[in-house]
Structure 1
Amino acid sequence: MHRKPLLDQLAVYAETHPEEAATIQRFIAFVETRPECFERSLLEGHITGSAWIVDQGGAKVLLTHHRKLDAWLQLGGHADGDPDVLAVALKEAEEESGLNGFEAVTEGIFDLDIHPIPERKGVPEHLHYDVRYVLRATGSTDYVVSEESHDLRWVSLDEVATLTTDASMLRMVEKWRSKIAG
């Protein structure tokens, strides 16, 4: 089954993040009951892959001021049928930043979030089941702003809170802080 690798990752994530049980169970139920969960044509919602991109030292993260959502976010996008969500996150990181050379920092999923995407250009409001991974930029950190962004910026962990009040973004800051402190 093409969904099994993601379901396996979700099971591991559930063991390490019992405090997120409700979100994890919604994710698992969605993936188990929707064979087409990786397709953006599934109008109720679909899987997306995102990258929490850190610099070599892990002190800064690369954020995008997303053009369509008009908010500072991690980079990422639609799976478009690809069940390898880490590969999706890597592809989106490269496409949206112009950076080459990333390494996965953590094994498996770093964070999960389910959030609504507003109606736009005839596409009804729907949910993004966002699977997030930590990627370290291993090459140049000189980014290129793509058409999907108003801007990109390397920011310190403290600066993230000055750019957004999004709970999932602030949660990732705290998760990353505990990871690098541990």
Structure 2
Amino acid sequence: MDKRNDILIKLDNYNPESLEEQGSKILMLDFIENNKDCFMRENLEGHVTASSWIVNPDRTKVCLVHHKKLKRWVQAGGHCDGEFRTKLVAQKELEEETGLKTAELVSDKLFDVDAHVIPEHKGVPEHIHYDVRFLFEADENEKPVISDESNDVQWFTLEEAAKLGLDESVLRMLEKTYTIQ
């Protein structure tokens, strides 16, 4: 069995809500189909990453991480490092980066997709992260824990989050939060 089948099926079944997402989906399908090592960080062209969009049960708050390297608020997530079960990667990164124990996966379906350039850093050349994002729900009364990779991790109301200077793809997920069923 090809380890890429699961993510290719998820991407095939995913219906992008914007032109940006449609472009990312096309790039991701092409990259994954043509790179057997797509889950490996050692692929310096790029690699699949997995993230978690964490909301509270009534969808009025989101938990974000202030990333040390990126110096901005983002969703929890990270490298697959060879693991092809991307929802497990998203869950692991959520736990490592936020310390939240109550978080549960809402759906096996993708919540968002984004292909974005990562600048050169400490000798690692510029490359692309092909990020698949899953929706998680957690109790906003559980206090998040700051990891070594972060400056901060906090729950924000959707309105507060909108004022944080988020990048376009994070804003897109924030907008989707208003319409989650």
Question: TM bucket by the smaller chain?
Answer: over 0.9
Q: For residue 82 of structure 1, what is the aligned residue in structure 2?
A: 83
8 Å contact kept, 2:64–2:156: yes
8 Å contact kept, 1:100–1:139: no
Displacement, 1:10?
A: 0.3
Q: For residue 51 of structure 1, what is the aligned residue in structure 2?
A: 52
Displacement, 1:106?
A: 3.0
Q: For residue 156 of structure 2, what is the aligned residue in structure 1?
A: 155
Q: For residue 129 of structure 1, what is the aligned residue in structure 2?
A: 130
Displacement, 1:176?
A: 1.4
Supply the RMSD in Å over aligned alpha carbons: 1.6
Which 10-residue stretch deviates more, 67-76 or 94-103?
94-103
Gapped runs of 5+ residues in structure 2? none
Structure with the higher helix share, 1 or 2: 1
1:33 equivalent to 2:62? Answer no
1:104 equivalent to 2:101? Answer no
Q: For residue 178 of structure 2, what is the aligned residue in structure 1?
A: 177
Q: Distance in 2 between matches of 1:59 and 1:107?
A: 22
Match of 1:63, as an amino acid?
A: L
3-state SS in 1 of match to 2:125: coil
Displacement, 1:138?
A: 5.0
Match of 1:118, as an amino acid?
A: P
Displacement, 1:33?
A: 0.3
Q: For residue 74 of structure 2, what is the aligned residue in structure 1?
A: 73
TM-score (norm: length of structure 1) = 0.92
Displacement, 1:65?
A: 0.5
Q: For residue 6 of structure 1, what is the aligned residue in structure 2?
A: 7
Q: For residue 119 of structure 1, what is the aligned residue in structure 2?
A: 120
Q: Distance in 2 between matches of 1:21 and 1:76?
A: 21
Displacement, 1:87?
A: 0.3
Q: For residue 63 of structure 2, what is the aligned residue in structure 1?
A: 62
8 Å contact kept, 1:9–1:109: yes
8 Å contact kept, 1:103–1:137: yes
Q: Distance in 1 between matches of 2:42 and 2:95?
A: 24
Aligned residue pairs total 179
3-state SS in 1 of match to 2:64: strand
3-state SS in 1 of match to 2:180: helix
Overall identity of the aligned pairs, in %: 45
Q: Deviations over 1:132-171 (max 9, x none)?
A: 0011115962111011000011001111221124110111
8 Å contact kept, 2:56–2:140: no
Displacement, 1:108?
A: 0.8
Q: Deviations over 1:29-75 (max 9, x none)?
A: 01100000000000011011000011232211100110011010000
TM-score (norm: length of structure 2) = 0.93
Displacement, 1:84?
A: 0.5
Q: Distance in 2 between matches of 1:137 and 1:95?
A: 15
